[in-house]
Amino acid sequence: MPSTTDEPNTRLRGIIPVLPTPFPEDGSLDLESLDRLIEHALTWKAGGLAILEVASEVEKLNAGEYTAIAERAARKIANKVPLVVGVSGANTKAAAQSAAIARRAGAHAVFAKAPAASRAEAAEAEVLDYYLTIAQAADLPVMVQNFALANGESGVISMDALTRVVRADHRIQHVKEETPPPAGNGKITQIKRGARRESDHPLGIRGDHPGG
């Protein structure tokens, strides 16, 4: 199947809210509520809709439930706006499997935060392999989620590693910077300068915290 990274709906712009996953009291999936949520969200005129991320409680889902949500959301959105699907995994294999599911379901782009490195000296090589594998499995635009815990540096991708990642594959087109202040102050500016590239796919940068 040819790459879809040049299709109009893969060009992410504007605000892209992350939708929660509706659960009834018994913890099962509530796909009808998901439909209603998407119908309402489409009235917001957002640049796209994102699902299956940390805020969506994706860690509570098994593979079948994950697939069901991705497929249902894609059908309901029906290409009205880009669908961005979270594919974070505890390891590279798990993330690649989710990326393949997202592509088959009809995602327009995927995003992922990197898992903790097996050891500090391997962090840069592991994060590069992680995102390159996702890009290959999804064959869609990839957003690097530079996720950090509010109380420390855990999970933050170094600038050197981030620069290598976004330059390594043309499908890695976006960075979602989430390093909280004070460590995150100025990070978006640093990324713009450090990760600049000559490409038909300029890097898109998004931020969740002030001070960029």
Within 10 Å of residue 47's Cβ, how many Cβ atoms? 15
pLDDT digits (tens, 9 = 90+) for 24-68: 999 899 999 999 999 999 999 999 999 999 889 999 999 999 999
To the question of pTM greater than 0.85 for the whole model, the response is yes
- What residue spans of the chain are helical by DSSP H? 31-42, 63-77, 92-105, 123-138, 159-168, 187-194
More confidently predicted of 139 and 177:
139
pLDDT digits (tens, 9 = 90+) for 115-165: 888 888 898 999 999 999 999 999 999 999 987 654 444 457 888 888 899
- List Cβ neighbours of 89 (8 Å cut-off, separation of 6 or more): 95, 96, 97, 98, 112, 115
| Nearest by Cα to 44 from 12, 81, 74 | 81
Quick one: average pLDDT of 61-89?
Answer: 97
Asked: is 16-148+155-171 a CATH 3.20.20.70 domain? The reply is yes
Q: What is the pLDDT of residue 210?
A: 43
* Domain locations along the chain: 16-148+155-171
